[in-house]
Amino acid sequence: MMLIFLGPPGAGKGTQAKRIEEKHGLRQLSTGDMLRAARAAGTPVGLEAKTSMDRGDLVPDHLVIGVVEERIADPDCARGVIFDGFPRNVVQAEALDAMLARAGRKLDAVIEIRVDEAALVARQATRVQETLRAGGKVRDDDKPDVLRHRLAVYHRETAPLIAYYKGRGILKTVDGMASIDSVTATIAKLLDR
């Protein structure tokens, strides 16, 4: 099964993907995590991604597309994948179609996790405060200014994918403001159909 989880930063894509992957034997692929790992390892991809990531901009398409195509060929992706944070624009979506076609696979569903963004920004600001008060470290791109910028990028670049996949009849929308458990249950039900 090949799935995409779509939604703005902070919508809970990663949390839900982790829960669904265990249940359905899929592999969650977070391009954000993959890029952060590349940065930590100091690879050429990581170095090239750094500036865009720190600003909250998308990293260049060719970097992400290359990383994803290599990764989905790994044996642990054979049963299926949940794309979390990819594709982020139409160029990436078309590249995904092409690479899946080359691999003889196809997308089964796109799960849009819809949230109230004002509530989301407020929730995130509280979380940052709490983390700082507890002496923890906050990811630079989770700080309020950068998060606001990432939301703007989401609207400009990523939100058009909702119509892109709706037009193909594979979009399913869930209410991401419900409790974590109930969002998981709704997604699981959609997938069992």
Minimal distance, residue 170 CB to ligand ADP, in Å: 19
CA 159 to chain centre: 12
| Closest to ligand ADP by CB, 7 or 26 | 7
Burial class (CB in 10 A: 0-12, 13-18, 19+), 85: buried
Q: Which residues bind ligand ADP (CB under 6 A)?
A: 9, 13-14, 30-32, 35, 52-53, 56-59, 64, 85-86, 88, 92, 141, 150
| Closest to ligand ADP by CB, 52 or 193 | 52
Tokens of 69: 């195509």
Tokens of 183: 């969002």
Number of neighbouring beta carbons within 10 Å of residue 123: 13
Minimal distance, residue 161 CB to ligand ADP, in Å: 11
Tokens of 64: 């992400």
| Closest to ligand ADP by CB, 122 or 189 | 122
Minimal distance, residue 192 CB to ligand ADP, in Å: 26
